[in-house]
Amino acid sequence: MPEADKEGKQFYQDVPMKTDGFFLKGCNSFDWGMKNRLSRIFNPRSGRTVMLAVDHGYFQGPTTGLERIDLNIVPIAPYADTLMLTRGMLRSSLPPSYNRGIVLRASGGPSILHELSNEHLALDMEEALRLNAAALAVQVFIGGEYETQSVHNMTRLIDKGMRYGMPILAVTAVGKEMNRDARYFRLACRMCAELGATYVKTYYIPKGFDTVAASCPVPVVMAGGKKIPEKDALTMAYNAVQEGAAGVDMGRNIFQSEAPAAMIQAVGKVVHEDMPPKEAYQFYLELCQG
């Protein structure tokens, strides 16, 4: 048996990883095109991103809050640094004048009616370049039934991405039966980074998220997860960036909010300006009152 992730190891959470020449950790050895694309996702001033994830329909159809991307999302999209969506929604519903970063969903297959980890690649690199994507997102199911297949999807996409300067976002998907703890997320994020992911999306956990971020040598962005009260979502985003996340990739906690435009702006304050959650919630309420 190889040595597993044991308790009591030293992650040096208080020592930031040295980053030479480029503002994102672990990304200095990439070529100009890759770095330029990453700068369309991450704000070079704060080094962080507010990604708005609206790709849920690729496996669950018209999710609550995403019934009409043209009406629900297009008006708030300018507040995001980056929009994460499918090519179908991009072409049909997003104006090409939208000039922020686009992260395209590049894996898919099963619907919510079947085993979700049984995904394949669902987007060709040529199509991604035609659509001027800033990165491609692929789901990785560590511990899932089709773990190896999903990892293979990721590594094939990374190989193509390296050829054309396209960043690949590995999205760590957690099955219902999986323990959502630091050890699991360290395993999942580190595997994705070791196998070449440009950056990784993962869930926040109250205990040990700092070790997840510290042991991943490339940027980690926090996944939003199911809808929780606005104040709690802002607190979660704040804790994540304070503990080492390079921003957030939130969906339901923004577009299912009572006031999505206000919520995404409040998330922006937390992510880019380190605004504490209490103040950010107040900012949200003030925007709601108009």
From CA 199, how far away is CA 8, in angstroms rounded?
Answer: 26
Q: Is residue 37 near ligand R5P by the rule CB under 6 A?
A: no
One-character DSSP codes across 19-41: --SSSSTT-TTS-HHHHHHHHHH
The β-bridge relationship of strands 120-121 and 82-85 is unpaired
Catalytic residue among 25, 35, 201, 269: 201
C-beta separation of 240 from 202 below 8 A: no
Q: Which is nearer to ligand R5P, 138 or 275 (CB)?
A: 138
Question: Applying CB under 6 A, which part among 2-10, 50-58, 74-82, 266-274 lies near ligand R5P?
Answer: 50-58
Q: Which of 101, 144, 219, 224 binds ligand R5P (CB under 6 A)?
A: 224
In whole angstroms, the minimum distance from the beta carbon of 15 to ligand R5P comes to 30
In whole angstroms, the minimum distance from the beta carbon of 286 to ligand R5P comes to 24
C-beta separation of 193 from 216 below 8 A: yes
Rg (CA), the chain: 18
Q: Which is nearer to ligand R5P, 106 or 275 (CB)?
A: 106
C-beta separation of 87 from 131 below 8 A: yes
Strand partners, 250: 52
Question: Applying CB under 6 A, which part among 89-97, 182-190, 220-228, 276-284 lies near ligand R5P?
Answer: 220-228
In whole angstroms, the minimum distance from the beta carbon of 122 to ligand R5P comes to 13
Total number of residues binding ligand R5P (CB under 6 A)?
A: 13
Q: Is residue 171 near ligand R5P by the rule CB under 6 A?
A: yes
Which residues lie below 8 Å from residue 286, measured CB to CB, with a gap of 6+?
Answer: none
Site string for ligand R5P, 85-114 (x = CB under 6 A): ------------------------------
- The conformational region for residue 120 under phi > 0 = left, psi -120 to 50 = alpha, else beta, is beta
* 219 SS3 class: coil
Site string for ligand R5P, 53-72 (x = CB under 6 A): x-xx----------------
From CA 114, how far away is CA 135, in angstroms rounded?
Answer: 27
Instruction: Find the residue with minimal CB distance to ligand R5P.
Output: 224
Q: Is 201 a catalytic residue?
A: yes
**What residues between 242 and 261 interact with ligand R5P by CB under 6 A?**
249-253
Is the alpha carbon torsion for 259, 265, 271, 275 positive or negative? negative
In whole angstroms, the minimum distance from the beta carbon of 272 to ligand R5P comes to 18
Q: Which is nearer to ligand R5P, 35 or 205 (CB)?
A: 205
Q: Which of 121, 223, 234, 263 binds ligand R5P (CB under 6 A)?
A: 223
Instruction: Identify the DSSP state of 79.
Output: G
The 3-state DSSP composition of the chain as helix, strand, coil percent (nearest 5) reads: 40, 15, 45
Q: Which is nearer to ligand R5P, 110 or 225 (CB)?
A: 225
Q: Which amino acid is at 36?
A: N
In whole angstroms, the minimum distance from the beta carbon of 80 to ligand R5P comes to 12
Active site (catalytic) residues: 201
Residues that bind ligand R5P (CB under 6 A): 53, 55-56, 171, 173, 223-225, 249-253
